Structure formats: C-alpha cells, structure tokens
Amino acid sequence: MKLFKLLFASIVVMGLTSCLGNSSNTITQEFTPYCISYVTDTNTGVSTVNSGTIYKLYNDVDNGTLTLEIGNLKLPNGTYVSLNIADQRYSFNESGAMVVRVPSYTSVVAGMSHTITNLTFEYYNRYMGQQSFPMIVLNYLIDGMYSARVIYSPAYYWGTTTVTDQDGKVYTNTAQTSFYGVQFFPDKNTAAFGAFSAKFAENMPALNMTFKDIPYTFSPSGYSLTKDELIPNIGDTPYPAYKITNFSMSGTWGGNQYVSFVCTIDTEKIKGEFHVSASLAIMPANKPNTGN
C-alpha cells in the first residue's frame, strides 16, 4: 500500500505534454492513477466503486477548449463504457480553477453512443512553493440513468485548525504550511489520513503524521471516515505517544471537509489531551491563484 509516500513524499506533478500542431498548442494530462470512479444507478440506488478508469484531458490552449476522454468506466450493471466529450469551452472560477459545464452532449466512441448531461468539471492546480497539488472535480449523468463522479485520491485540503487542550486553552493554526490529505483504497474499503506540518500545541514541533486503515463510507453527496482509536505513523514509525481517539472526517464531493479527533500526547516535553477540529477546503483561503 503506497501509504502517503504517494500522498506526500511524491506529491503528484502530472505530466504535461505540449503537442505543437499546425493550428493549436495542446496540453495533454492523464489523471488515471489518481481517480476512483463512483457510479450509481439512479433507479435502483446500486453503486460501484472502482479504479482503473482512464481519464485524459486535452487542453487546446489556442482555442480555449478542453476535450475529456474517459475510458473503461464500469457501470453498476457490470458493463463498461468509454466516453469522449470534445472541444468544450472553458473558463476560470473565482478560485482560479479551470471550469467546464456541459448541459448535454452526445458521445460516440467506437460506434457506441451515450448521452452525457449535467457535466461539471473543475481542475485545480494548486502550488505551495515549488510543489504542485493538482486536483479534479468531475461529475455527470450517463443516459439519464447512471450518476458518475470522480473521487480524487490522494486529495489535499487547507483551512483552519482549532485545538483545545485539557485546560480549555485554545490554539488556532491557519498556516498554509499545515494541510491535510485523504487517500482511499477501494480494494480494502479503508482510507488513510495525513496531517502535514501538523501542530496541535504552541510548543509542539511541526510533524507529518499519517493515520491508516480507517473504514469509510461513500454516498452520492460525499463520504465519511470514522475510527475509535488510531496510532499515527511519523515516517514509517508508529508513535503511540501521539495516540488518536474519536477520529472523524466527512466531506462533500468538491466541497468542504471537516475533521475532528483527540490527540493524547505523552512525551517528555508535552503531556495532555488535545481536542482537534479542522474546517477545510480545496483552496487555501488566501491563495486564490492556482497558477492555471
């Protein structure tokens, strides 16, 4: 399991290929390794969760259009479809994300036709220093029956962390250098959570902590993770001196995320119970430019 070595040590920088043709400069990106497909039959409520769907993006810079290629998408009835949504005009939202909205489109791939409706695509290419933290938000309806969305994994979020110690003293951390990540493993039905440059007390050193093997549930609107007790890893080493209890994380797809847990620290310099809560978003509050 590529636990947070993928999430942190190898923060994803998608390959960009510039293809100079006669009429346009096209940037190609493939998101396949970082996308989980969640498809629900809107008639029966049956869902399927799987990796391996191909997601490619072609950005025609000169004409300001995107083409989205989706291949080998598994439906709840066990069949597979491939889709191509071509030459869609894009814009940028207030957060700097590249955005495409498609009310209706007929995709024809290898002679197979499918109607795509209510497609929303957002591409965030966030930067912290020299590191890139790309993320896509994608959802759409296939043939009026199958609601499909991408679950980007690993995904990173920024926001405000509030910590209350056992004496009622409150510590607030709004630093952009502190952020959180979540990574889903559909084959195991578990997730991993990461707190990067985490500080839960004024005199606590900034640590990269990972919590693994957390059960999760998906729904059409979002997800939740819960576990009664966790021992975080710092690097590859478990640290029982930072025991985690009452862990909870929930979020809406493409929206806000909420995290809460209790960290009981028992070290030579710090001892006590710290109640941690964080309200998180895709974009850092004071970092609106994604560099797109």
Residues 6+ apart with CB under 8 A from 241: 265, 266, 267
pLDDT tens figures, 59-87: 999 999 999 999 999 999 999 999 999 99
pLDDT at position 30 over 60: yes
Please, what sign has the CA dihedral across residues 90, 31, 125, 97? positive
126 with 172, same domain: the answer is: no
Residues 6+ apart with CB under 8 A from 132: 11, 12, 13, 14, 125, 126, 291
pLDDT tens figures, 243-253: 999 999 999 98
Q: What is the largest CA-CA distance in the chain?
A: 68
DSSP-derived letter for residue 78 is S
Number of neighbours of residue 119 by Cβ within 10 angstroms: 21
Burial class of residue 70 (count of CB atoms within 10 Å of its CB; 0-12, 13-18, 19+): buried
pLDDT at 14: 41
135 with 192, same domain: the answer is: no
Phi then psi dihedrals of residue 33, to 5 deg: -65, -15
In a domain, 207, yes or no: yes
193 with 275, same domain: the answer is: yes
Tell me if 214 sits within 8 A of 185, measured CB to CB. no
In a domain, 291, yes or no: no
CA–CA–CA angle 123, 55, 144 (5° rounding): 90
> Once rounded to an integer, what is the mean pLDDT over residues 110-125?
96
> Once rounded to an integer, what is the mean pLDDT over residues 49-57?
95
Number of neighbours of residue 208 by Cβ within 10 angstroms: 17
126 with 32, same domain: the answer is: yes
> Once rounded to an integer, what is the mean pLDDT over residues 124-138?
86
SS3 5: helix
pLDDT tens figures, 152-193: 999 999 999 999 999 999 999 888 888 999 999 999 999 999
Q: Bin 228: left if φ > 0, else alpha if -120 < ψ < 50, else beta.
A: alpha
Last residue of a domain, one of 152, 181, 207: 152
Q: How many domains does the chain have?
A: 2
How would residue 45 be classed by pLDDT, with cut points 50, 70 and 90?
very high
162 with 146, same domain: the answer is: no
119 with 214, same domain: the answer is: no
Last residue of a domain, one of 135, 152, 169: 152
Residue with tokens 């003293």: 169
DSSP-derived letter for residue 292 is -
Closest to 282 (Cα-Cα) out of 242, 260, 252: 252
109 with 186, same domain: the answer is: no
- In DSSP terms, which residues pair with 5 in a beta bridge? none
In a domain, 213, yes or no: yes
Whole-number average pLDDT of the chain: 88
Residue 179: give the domain boundaries: 155-281
In a domain, 286, yes or no: no
Spatial separation of the C-alpha atoms in residues 66 and 71, rounded to whole Å: 16
133 with 32, same domain: the answer is: yes
pLDDT at 199: 84
In a domain, 287, yes or no: no
131 with 249, same domain: the answer is: no
> Once rounded to an integer, what is the mean pLDDT over residues 18-46?
83
Last residue of a domain, one of 152, 174, 189: 152
218 with 265, same domain: the answer is: yes
CA distances from 240 to 91, 105, 233 (A): 48, 53, 9
Spatial separation of the C-alpha atoms in residues 31 and 152, rounded to whole Å: 9
In a domain, 218, yes or no: yes
130 with 164, same domain: the answer is: no
Core vs surface per residue 14-34: b (16+ CB within 10 A) or e: beeeeeeeeeeebebbebeeb
SS3 90: coil
In a domain, 233, yes or no: yes
147 with 9, same domain: the answer is: yes
Spatial separation of the C-alpha atoms in residues 220 and 146, rounded to whole Å: 11
In a domain, 288, yes or no: no
Domain harbouring 188, CATH code: 2.40.128
